[in-house]
Amino acid sequence: MAAWAIVLIVLAAVALLLTLLLVPFGIWFRALVSGAPVSVARLVGMRLRKIKVAMIVDAYITGKKAGLDIDIATLETHYMAKGDVIKVVNALISAHSANIELTNQTAMAIDLAGRDVLNAVRVSVNPKVIETPMISAIAKDGIELRAKARVTVRANIARLIGGAGEETIIARVGEGIVTTIGSAKEHKEVLENPDSISKKVLDKGLDTGTAFEILSIDIADVDVGRNIGAQLQMDQAEADKRVAQAKAEERRALAVALEQEMKAKTQEMRAEVIKAEAEVPKAMAEALKNGKLGVLDYYNMLNIQADTAMRNGISGGLNETAPEAPKPKK
């Protein structure tokens, strides 16, 4: 009998030890006195599934105390899905306090989608100001204007999943500013009424498809930049000048080439003349030999050439093309 008694005592001790290890009585008692009781079986099940029991129970107690209709099993599921239970519960409490419609499923879906659900609720309660970088645009008169805007937005809980972020808001506002300034006839119109930019940009519905609702667009600063129109005209004039210079250089090169060609033709013609003149003595000799030209006729021709050369010398002119009179042979 003593042996069986010892065995029973050992088994009882082991059972008590396992119960103390598996059942977090402290957490169970805290939940009970907080008005958010949790069964011992559920606590044991969470511990066996390696869930942070204390965190889940504390979040459950906090939600119940804040008046949320929340189930601890839902919190377990969200934790096992790698969600942030504490942030979701705090977001639900903030939304409940601000009378913002936010269901448990929506908050958990937003958290699992990678969005900061708590920050989204805060931005929904307290609108956020997004400042755009300096945006450059050119009016129709060619003057560059640089504008900076502050966009006041509020988070749209319903569009947090799948909605575009702040970068899209900044890009759309920048596009609207460029379009508005570009449609102005003169840059002075924009400087006199900078609020016209805000009104036109705000009327475009830039928050469509985004996770925000645009409340206002305020132009923080407008500066006058360069005279782009004058610069473009100067660049065009410089380009036209270079084109004209290139064409003039082309014409000069053609003229030089034509001049050289004419000089070559002149030399060629002079060569032909010299060649023809070289045939004259031969013809005269042939004529003398055949009796077609007499000696007196030849001397008369020499006298005429000598008289012509003398007159040219007196008058100061020299006929380069005239052949030199041959000297009579003694």
Could you tell me the maximum CA-CA distance found in the chain, to the nearest angstrom?
185
The confidence score (pLDDT) of residue 117 equals 85
Confidence of residue 5 (pLDDT cuts 50, 70, 90): low
Encoded amino acid at 78, one letter: H
Residues 213 and 154 sit within 8 Å (Cβ to Cβ): yes
Residue 130, strand partner residues: 151
Residue 227, strand partner residues: 143
Instruction: Record the tokens describing residue 227, joined without a space.
Output: 């005279």
- Cβ count near 166 (within 10 Å): 14
128-227: CATH topology: Tetrahydropterin Synthase; Chain A (3.30.479)
pLDDT higher than threshold 80 for residue 318: no
Closest Cα to residue 218, out of 235, 194, 237, 241?
194
pLDDT tens figures, 25-75: 677 777 777 888 888 778 877 877 788 888 888 888 888 888 888 888 888
Tokens 């937003």, residue located: 110
List strand residue ranges (DSSP E) for the chain, in order.
128-131, 135-138, 143-155, 212-227
Confidence of residue 308 (pLDDT cuts 50, 70, 90): confident
Q: Please report, for the chain, the start and end positions of each structural domain, with discontinuous segments joined by +.
A: 11-125, 128-227, 294-330
What's the gap between Cα 149 and its chain centre?
19
